[in-house]
Amino acid sequence: MNSTFDAFLRSWPSAPWVLLGLLLAAAVYLRGWLRLHARDPRRWPASKLVTFLLGLAALFVALASPLEPFAALLLQVHMAQHLLLMMVAPPLLWLGAPLFPLLRGLPGPIRTVWVAPLFRSSVLRRCFRTVAHPAPAWLLFTATTWFWHLPPIYDLALGFDGWHVLQHGCFLGAALAFWYPVIRPFPSRPQWSPWLLVPYLILADVQNTILSAVFTFSDRPLYSYYADRPQLGSLSPLEDQAAAGVLMWVPGSIAFLVPLFWIGIQLLYGERSHRKPHSAIPCPPHFDGRISLPVFSEQPDVLRLPLVGRLLRWRFARLAFQLPLTVIAMLMIYDGLRGPQVSPMNLAGVLPWIHWRGFLILSLLALGNVFCLACPFLVPRTLARRWLPQGRSWPRWLRSKWLAVLLLAGFVWAYEALSLWDSPWWTAWIALGYFVAVFVIDGFFRGAAFCKYLCPIGQFNFVQSLMSPLEVAVRDPRICTACRTKDCIRGRDGVPGCELNLFPPRKASNMDCTFCLDCIHACPHDNLGIQTKAPGRELWHDSLRSGIGRFSKRPDLAALIVVLVFGAFTNAAGMVAPVGEWQHELASLLHLGSPALVTSAFYGVGLVVLPTLLVGTAAVLSRWLGQSVESARGLATRFAYALVPIGFGMWLAHYSFHLLGSFESAIPAVQRFAGDLGLATVGDPEWRCACSRPIGDWLTHLEMLALDLGLLFSLYAGYQIARRESEQIAHALKGFAPWALLIVLLFAAGVWIVLQPMQMRGTF
């Protein structure tokens, strides 16, 4: 095989985003086509699916095949790439009549909330009608083709990636506009005579022929970029240019003449007159975005999954999850107290601060509050219930999150000020203290008082699980309305009801839900499931929630959220090099022997002073600008929920960084521990795995993505809250502005933190 051709076949560029975008489009189309085909197979034959997929394949070949790298060396390859973008992909895509399949393939909410308003927009409809008319479409196509083939413009596109992307985008857009009147995909109803297509295609071919001739017969290379490229084999730049011209001329003309011939036959022999007129064809209902949203849609339910569902419905499922984690926790405590007091060598220095935190936040992102489901600290509670009276109810004056806020802030402070992460001994004692606290508190008080009012980890999980995709929810509310026993909250046959007093039909969020599954096991109607939900949607809904009340009436919850959000940034900032250096400089300036006092002051500012100042200012400004009748305190309480996503983004970025950057650090610690216990089979510790590795760009990109999505979710949540707080859009926007500024400030702080060198944990 020719070495150039062999190299060509192996030159596949890495274009994951192109591939993912095309696969996404294919999946949406396929989903919609399957539904339409089931309803009307004659109108939606398999040929439509095939042509649409071929159109996507043509785009893939043009943008993500060896054509792409070789287009930089050979003009003829670049021309082939452009032909695919302009002559092949667009007509194939239109032949698939993509409008209805793509709309039907989209999820209901995106169709109704995002797409439908655009279809109702008179501006967009007018624009589309204008562009889809043959005259503007022809002009756009011709102007685009000629403009981008002007030598200075073409050289510019070849020299800079951004311009090259724009060139491809223009070619594809203009070609889609050009081929639309030719194909007239369903449900297009042109108002102009089809005879117009004859000069339309002939003139397009004429301009294509002229441009091709310029390429083919030019006596010098038109583009300096290709003139400077090394000659491949015996092919000179001028010959390459002529070949590109022929490619444009012959296949290009065929692309125009074949449809011209086909349309001519139809017009001359009146093929269309035998068809029913458009108006007589039964059309799908006019798309107004309000179709097919059932009152009680059956959400995907984890409990319906074959194996997992059965396991979760098993009465001892929770214990089965808890026991392995309890064993790991015990081993960690043992090693923390008895093992070497060097973090990377000790299970207590590695597992909780690198792996557990990372998996915790990732599980909250991908699933839900599964850590509380498998919480090892609750195993002693089962024993406490047998041995201790458990007769008291939690004091009424402590039934809020204020105590948890203090504990959480204290924990975040102690983590850095006392270097908990660097002390296996302290880590072990904290875990041990957790076991004791649960045993004592839940041994004397009814319900899950520790989980609901005290546990800092639980509060973290409750708040972050507002962004999770799963929740324990009622399948059919009508069954709950008819239910008289309410076993889900009272308990049945030895299975307790919800100890956190969350009545499932009125739960409406993950807040305070430990995923204990008690309500699921207790329900006699099998009417509870672990269903998918739109992450974060409850942030702006202020409905009355069982066991919680309204979010807007819970300043303690809002305070918890604010501490968690600012805690995310303060905690991460405390580990970056510039902040550490600044703390040391300040400590030496103040002649302090240890920077602990400065660190404490830093956390005081980060967790108390700054949040109070920023949230308070935003609330006052929001009230003034939005002319709200609500108090500034009330507005701060309401809008605090909008900060949850940006805080979640920062926690995710931070913990993922440690997990993905030092994942292997568990290996030598486990090997060392096993060796100490006399289990030599695991081998000698691989200490090189405990060393910090250089952080790749991919990890920074991942962190940025977490912050980006957090920013957008927060802005959207704040906007939705503002829309609900004010009748008038102008007032809503003004009231939202200070919160948007605060969210952007937090994002900027997060970007700064991510771009700084960060201390690793549990590594050498």
Partner 1 sequence: MRSMIWFLLVSSFILHPSSVVRADGGTLRLSRRQGGYWITIFTAPMPLRAGPVDVSVLVQDGQTREPLPQAQVTVRMTQPGQQALACPATTEAATNKLLRAAPFELPAPGRWELEVQVEGVHGSAVMGCQLEAAHALPRWMQIWPWIGWPALVVALFSVHQVLARRRPLVSPVINRAERLRVK
Residues 115-174 that bind partner 1 (CB under 8 A): 117-118, 120-121, 123-124, 159-162, 164-165, 168
CA atoms of 115 and 364, how far apart (whole Å): 30
Provide the residue type at 442 as one letter.
D
CA atoms of 458 and 447, how far apart (whole Å): 15
Closest approach, Cβ 416 to partner 1, in A, equals 24
Smaller CB separation from partner 1, 328 or 705: 705
Q: By CB under 8 A, is residue 537 in contact with partner 1? A: yes
Q: By CB under 8 A, is residue 224 in contact with partner 1? A: no
Smaller CB separation from partner 1, 4 or 501: 4
CA atoms of 313 and 311, how far apart (whole Å): 5
CB atoms within 10 A of CB 600: 15
Q: By CB under 8 A, is residue 402 in contact with partner 1? A: no
Smaller CB separation from partner 1, 17 or 397: 17
Q: By CB under 8 A, is residue 549 in contact with partner 1? A: no
Closest approach, Cβ 547 to partner 1, in A, equals 14
Q: By CB under 8 A, is residue 745 in contact with partner 1? A: no
Smaller CB separation from partner 1, 228 or 493: 228
Element (H, E) at 501: none
Q: By CB under 8 A, is residue 231 in contact with partner 1? A: yes
Closest approach, Cβ 703 to partner 1, in A, equals 9
Alpha helices in 465-531 (DSSP H): 477-482, 487-490, 518-522
The answer to whether the beta carbons of residues 743 and 718 sit under 8 Å apart is yes
Where residue 419 falls (left for φ over 0; alpha for ψ -120 to 50; beta otherwise) is left
Choose, by CB under 8 A, the member of 63, 409, 568, 753 that binds partner 1. Answer: 63
User: Binding string to partner 1 for residues 261 to 300, with x set by CB under 8 A, is what?
Assistant: -----------------------------x--x-xx----
C-alpha separations of 282 from 101, 279, 377, 441 in Å = 17, 8, 64, 69
The answer to whether the beta carbons of residues 557 and 401 sit under 8 Å apart is yes
Closest approach, Cβ 754 to partner 1, in A, equals 9
Tokens of 650: 């920062």
**Helix/strand/coil for 72:** coil
**Helix/strand/coil for 525:** coil
23-42: contacts with partner 1 (CB under 8 A) = 24
**Helix/strand/coil for 576:** strand
Closest approach, Cβ 79 to partner 1, in A, equals 16
Smaller CB separation from partner 1, 149 or 164: 164
User: Binding string to partner 1 for residues 657 to 696, with x set by CB under 8 A, is what?
Assistant: ----------------------------------------
Smaller CB separation from partner 1, 209 or 756: 756
By CB under 8 A, which span of 257-265, 280-288, 537-545, 577-585 interacts with partner 1? 537-545
**Helix/strand/coil for 232:** strand
Q: By CB under 8 A, is residue 482 in contact with partner 1? A: no
CA atoms of 304 and 564, how far apart (whole Å): 34
Smaller CB separation from partner 1, 271 or 298: 298
Closest approach, Cβ 606 to partner 1, in A, equals 22
By CB under 8 A, which span of 39-47, 226-234, 604-612, 630-638 interacts with partner 1? 226-234
Smaller CB separation from partner 1, 195 or 752: 752
Q: By CB under 8 A, is residue 240 in contact with partner 1? A: no
Closest approach, Cβ 22 to partner 1, in A, equals 9
CA atoms of 438 and 451, how far apart (whole Å): 9
CA atoms of 580 and 738, how far apart (whole Å): 31
Q: By CB under 8 A, is residue 244 in contact with partner 1? A: no
Provide the residue type at 650 as one letter.
M
492-511: contacts with partner 1 (CB under 8 A) = 505-506, 508
Smaller CB separation from partner 1, 378 or 565: 565
Closest approach, Cβ 227 to partner 1, in A, equals 11
Q: By CB under 8 A, is residue 337 in contact with partner 1? A: no
Smaller CB separation from partner 1, 486 or 492: 486
Closest approach, Cβ 272 to partner 1, in A, equals 35
Closest approach, Cβ 576 to partner 1, in A, equals 13
Residues forming a β-bridge with 470: 532
Q: By CB under 8 A, is residue 367 in contact with partner 1? A: no
Closest approach, Cβ 732 to partner 1, in A, equals 9
Q: By CB under 8 A, is residue 7 in contact with partner 1? A: yes
By CB under 8 A, which span of 337-345, 435-443, 444-452, 532-540 interacts with partner 1? 532-540
Smaller CB separation from partner 1, 493 or 727: 727
Number of residues that bind partner 1 (CB under 8 A): 85
Closest approach, Cβ 228 to partner 1, in A, equals 6
Choose, by CB under 8 A, the member of 68, 205, 487, 499 that binds partner 1. Answer: 68
Tokens of 121: 């927009």
CA atoms of 346 and 356, how far apart (whole Å): 14
The answer to whether the beta carbons of residues 488 and 506 sit under 8 Å apart is no
512 Cβ contact list (under 8 Å, min separation 6): 452, 462, 500, 502, 547, 548
Task: For 409-555, list the strands marked E by DSSP.
Answer: 470-474, 528-532
Q: By CB under 8 A, is residue 741 in contact with partner 1? A: no
> What is the rounded (10 degree) CA torsion for 134, 140, 141, 143?
140
Closest approach, Cβ 331 to partner 1, in A, equals 39
**Cα-Cα-Cα-Cα dihedral sign, residues 532, 536, 541, 546:** positive
Tokens of 359: 């998996």
Residues forming a β-bridge with 576: 758
Alpha helices in 388-469 (DSSP H): 402-417, 424-444, 449, 456-464
Backbone angles phi, psi at 639, to 5 degrees: -80, -15
Q: What's the farthest any 2 CA atoms get from each other in the chain?
A: 100
Provide the residue type at 759 as one letter.
Q
Closest approach, Cβ 198 to partner 1, in A, equals 36
